[in-house]
Amino acid sequence: MTYLAVCAQQSSEHRVLSFATTAADVLQFAAIERIGRDAQGELSGFQRPQVAAHIREIRDYLEQPNSVLPNPIVVAFTDRVEVEDLGNGTMRLSIDMSSGVPGLVVDGQQRLSALAEVDREFQIFVSALICRDEAELRRQFVLINNTKPLPKSLIYELLPTVDNLPPRLGRRSVASDLTARLNFENTALRGYIKQHTCPEGIIADTVMQRIIMESLTNGVMRELIRTPKGVERCVRLVSNFFEAVKKVWPEAWHGQKPATSRLLHGAGIQALGDVMEVLAQRSEARSVEEFREGLECLRDKTAWTSGEWELSGEVRRWNSLQNVNRDIALLKHYLIGIVKADQRKRRKAAPVPLFEPEAGTA
């Protein structure tokens, strides 16, 4: 397939060309890859699921004879394209179709899907981005779509597959990688975290990422991540903590959802993240049993599924706690206060070790 295109002078590392064609032709040389994971948990694709209502709205508009669509469809290629310079900024773009579809839709999948259903001749603009490899393609997808109203959880799930990100996204990338490992590896949270590739999960991935980001910035994971096998040690730390949570409150965890148990709710998960930090730093808890022992002081002082909370003199029904900053702060303060008091009590009750002289001394 050959097109006469205009080349824009932009990045010295990439070629960006623009041409006009039909949606049917675009779907011949470019695929829409839905984000998913294989049996081993490896990420593939990057597009969100289709939004049927949105596609219908676009289609209904485009079926009108006076409709226009100036926004281009962005398609990326990594190979099987040739560009011939014809002079004066014009190019001949040749797409090799001999081995299947070579391009991937980076932006405009809903518009393209709607156009495919329109029964009229309608040309659209296509911006073709030629990338050096698939890693660069993913990077461009994230950067192009990060400023648009795509679901943030989709962007965050893709971040670990992308290099050379801005610092803000780089920090989120590490947290997203740890979250995905917790969700797809053999951990206490396997299948519990709701992601685009795990829609049946019940704990919001952004909530788990927030816990991890705070720990990586100012908590126990800050140093842990820098040690040999730091990623695995961070994953094991969080997994062991939540395995202990399951053991201390089994009735509030198993078979529950955020609406039926505040233990699985955004407010509860974030508050427990701070409890994990206190136990990991003050008592150096690392194993399931060490975390369980530290959580015992909270067992009968919570109202995850029924009853009332007494938070800083304020009485709240168990299900009135919401995933808002004020409620999260109240719950954190309450739980951490009990844990810290228990830690002080344990230290006072601990036996003082007898003095043992060093070998060779009188």
CA pair distance 103, 118, nearest whole angstrom: 22
Cβ atoms of 182 and 189 closer than 8 Å: yes
The residues, ordered by sequence, that sit 6+ positions from 130 with a Cβ below 8 Å of its Cβ are 14, 15, 16, 17, 76, 77, 78, 81, 83
361 — phi, psi (to 5°)? -105, 155
Task: Check residue 362 and give its pLDDT.
Answer: 43
Q: How far apart are CA 157 and CA 105, in angstroms?
A: 18
Mean pLDDT per 10-residue section of the chain, whose length is 362 residues: 91 86 92 69 57 76 86 90 90 93 87 86 91 79 63 73 68 89 96 91 94 94 93 97 98 96 97 97 95 96 96 93 95 96 88 60 46
pLDDT of residue 148: 52
- Give the list of residues 6+ apart from residue 48 with CB closer than 8 angstroms, or none: 34, 35, 150, 151, 154, 196
Largest CA distance in the chain: 103
CA distance 339 to 345: 10
Structure tokens that stand for 177 in this block: 């990688």
Apex 205 CA angle, 202 and 209, nearest 5: 140
Amino acid at 169: L
Run of H or E residues at 153: helix 152-158
Residue 145 pLDDT: 63
Q: Residue 338, class by beta-carbon neighbours within 10 Å (0-12 exposed, 13-18 middle, 19+ buried)? A: middle
pLDDT of residue 143: 73
* b (16+ CB within 10 A) / e for 137-174: bbbbbbeebbeeebeebbbbbbbbbbeebeeebebbbb
CB 180 within 8 A of CB 160: yes
CA-CA distances (angstroms) from residue 318 to 268, 300, 327?
A: 11, 14, 12
Q: Give the model's pLDDT for residue 95.
A: 95
